């Protein structure tokens, strides 16, 4: 049974996630290297904690592979997320991430093998309208926006998978193996990254002293704590409430970005109009869904 404390904790987690794009800009090493360090530090720290708490790491061969594979998806999500903030701004990155819940409305039926609802498609089209307005007024940020939208799709995919995993496994154990998988996924990506994307064809794996501080915050607070608690809360809070609250991440993040970076994050009015349309759409989704379910129940009772 969920409590007020659970809801407050969820909002705090979303606030932390809104700060990750800012950390991605403050850290001087490239986005792929950030993800590599973030996931390495996260799974090592969580592994130590789980060891001293005497948790059983044996989940079964197939289950471990499934969770490690989900970690690969998380790695791709984070690489695109930080890269989007780098090639555009934190605000543009977070606006693209606002499409996550609507992506979920398409991914969840696909994974759970149910039909897609018409109103979800309509809301998806409204979000595309909001993205068009942002694209029109912020043309120079089109690449960053596109990368953030793809990142949001991957976030929707692994969140749906996590919803299934929490029914079987300890949330902290899920996070441990997912961070290990994300670390391995980033490592596997290194040869491609060096060949086609890395500056001067070299990895930049020497963080500054401040980078180490930001990386530790990113790994311990934004990953081990926030990610694990969010998975654990899914046992008591419905997906309806979780998705509704996570949609506030861009709002929290954009406010934090303006406070930290000032004028750099000040966008043209069209950006805020497009962001407002996206947020209005994602907030409307659970409300409409709840009303339709209530009507369907009333019809069933009349039969």
Mean pLDDT (whole number) for 213-238: 88
Mean pLDDT (whole number) for 280-295: 80
Q: What share of the chain is helix, strand, coil (3-state, %, to 5)?
A: 85, 0, 15
Domain hosting 199: range is 4-302
Are 236 and 2 contacting, i.e. CB atoms less than 8 angstroms apart? yes
Angle at 159 between CA 156 and CA 164, to 5 degrees: 135
Q: Model confidence over 129-166: pLDDT tens digits?
A: 887 787 675 557 788 888 989 998 998 899 889 888 88
Enumerate residues 6+ apart whose C-beta is below 8 A from 101.
156, 243, 244, 246, 247, 282, 285
User: In the chain, how many domains are there?
Assistant: 1
Pairwise pLDDT comparison (12 vs 94), residue with the higher score: 12
Of the listed ranges 74-83, 223-232, 250-259, the least confidently predicted one is: 250-259
Closest to 240 measured CA to CA, from 285, 293, 276: 285
> Is residue 182 over pLDDT 90?
yes
d(CA 77, CA 147): 9
């Amino acid at each position: 049974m969920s409590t007020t404390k659970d809801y407050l904790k969820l909002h705090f987690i979303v606030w932390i996630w809104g700060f990750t794009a800012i950390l991605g800009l403050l850290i001087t090493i490239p986005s792929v290297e950030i993800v590599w360090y973030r996931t390495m530090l996260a799974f090592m720290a969580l592994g130590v904690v789980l060891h001293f708490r005497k948790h059983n790491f044996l989940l079964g061969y197939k289950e471990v592979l499934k969770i490690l594979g989900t970690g690969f998806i998380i790695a791709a999500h984070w690489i695109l997320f930080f890269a989007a903030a780098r090639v555009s701004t934190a605000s543009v990155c977070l606006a693209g991430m606002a499409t996550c819940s609507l992506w979920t409305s398409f991914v969840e039926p696909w994974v759970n093998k149910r039909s897609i609802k018409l109103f979800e498609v309509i809301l998806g089209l409204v979000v595309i309208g909001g993205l068009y307005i942002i694209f029109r007024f912020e043309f120079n940020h089109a690449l960053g926006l596109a990368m953030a939208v793809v990142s949001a799709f991957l976030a929707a995919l692994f969140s749906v998978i996590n919803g299934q995993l929490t029914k079987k496994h300890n949330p902290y154990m899920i996070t441990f193996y997912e961070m290990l998988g994300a670390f391995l996924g980033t490592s596997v990506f290194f040869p491609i990254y060096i060949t086609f994307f890395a500056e001067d064809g070299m990895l930049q794996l020497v963080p500054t002293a401040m980078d180490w501080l930001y990386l530790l915050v990113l790994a311990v607070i934004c990953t081990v704590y926030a990610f694990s608690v969010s998975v654990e809360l899914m046992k008591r809070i419905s997906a309806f409430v979780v998705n509704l609250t996570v949609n506030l991440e861009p709002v929290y993040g954009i406010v934090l970005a303006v406070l930290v970076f000032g004028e750099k994050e000040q966008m043209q009015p069209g950006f805020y109009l497009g962001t407002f349309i996206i947020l209005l759409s994602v907030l409307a989704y659970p409300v409409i869904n709840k009303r339709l379910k209530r009507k369907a129940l009333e019809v069933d009772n009349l039969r």
